[in-house]
């Protein structure tokens, strides 16, 4: 990736288009993948889209052609790389609109167990102390 543009490992983006050659072979890779990155320095004609082309890596007598992209997971535990009490609540409250959330069937008991969990109560108490300390610092 291009460091000068702010493109480094773990930068998040959205694939906006996948372009193929005019007459692609059945098994051919796309010619280019267009990615709109969340944070980028500079842009192309006012749109921060980056063209990602396949690269060839060779090791000994073997080589592979692939795009220098990795999947980003939208599940809370994958994106946060942790499993913690209250992570479900964090994930739910980060959604900006109900149009962007999907709940698979789950038992209400799951939320009850989280609510009654000792660790969650400890986390809430820790957060309250942080907020109180911050407010005292302001005044």
Q: Which residue has the tokens 């193929």?
A: 20
The beta strands (E) that lie in 12-137 are given as 13-19, 32-37, 49-52, 55-59, 62-66
Average pLDDT of the residues of the chain? 74
pTM for the full model? Answer: 0.47
Q: 12 pLDDT exceeds 50?
A: yes
Please give the Cα distance from 50 to 73 (Å, whole number): 20
Q: Of 12-16, 46-50, 62-66, which one has max mean pLDDT?
A: 62-66
Which pLDDT does position 1 carry in this prediction?
44
DSSP SS3 for 41:
coil
Among 25-34, 77-86, 107-116, the least confident range = 77-86
Structural contact between residues 68 and 52, judged by C-beta atoms closer than 8 angstroms = yes
Mean per-residue pLDDT, 42-53: 70
Looking at the chain, the whole-number percentage of residues with pLDDT higher than 70 is: 65
Structural contact between residues 42 and 25, judged by C-beta atoms closer than 8 angstroms = no
């Amino acid at each position: 990736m291009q460091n000068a543009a702010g493109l480094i490992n773990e930068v998040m983006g959205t694939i906006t288009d996948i372009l193929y050659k005019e007459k692609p072979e059945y098994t051919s890779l796309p010619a280019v993948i267009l990615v709109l990155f969340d944070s980028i320095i500079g842009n192309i004609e006012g749109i921060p889209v980056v063209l990602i082309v396949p690269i060839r890596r060779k090791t000994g007598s073997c080589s592979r052609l692939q795009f220098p992209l990795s999947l980003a997971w939208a599940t809370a535990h994958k994106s946060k790389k942790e499993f913690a009490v209250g992570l479900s609540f964090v994930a739910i409250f980060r959604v900006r609109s109900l149009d962007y959330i999907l709940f698979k069937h789950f038992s209400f008991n799951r939320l009850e167990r989280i609510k009654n969990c000792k660790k969650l109560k400890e986390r809430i108490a820790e957060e309250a102390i942080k907020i109180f300390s911050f407010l005292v610092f302001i005044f």
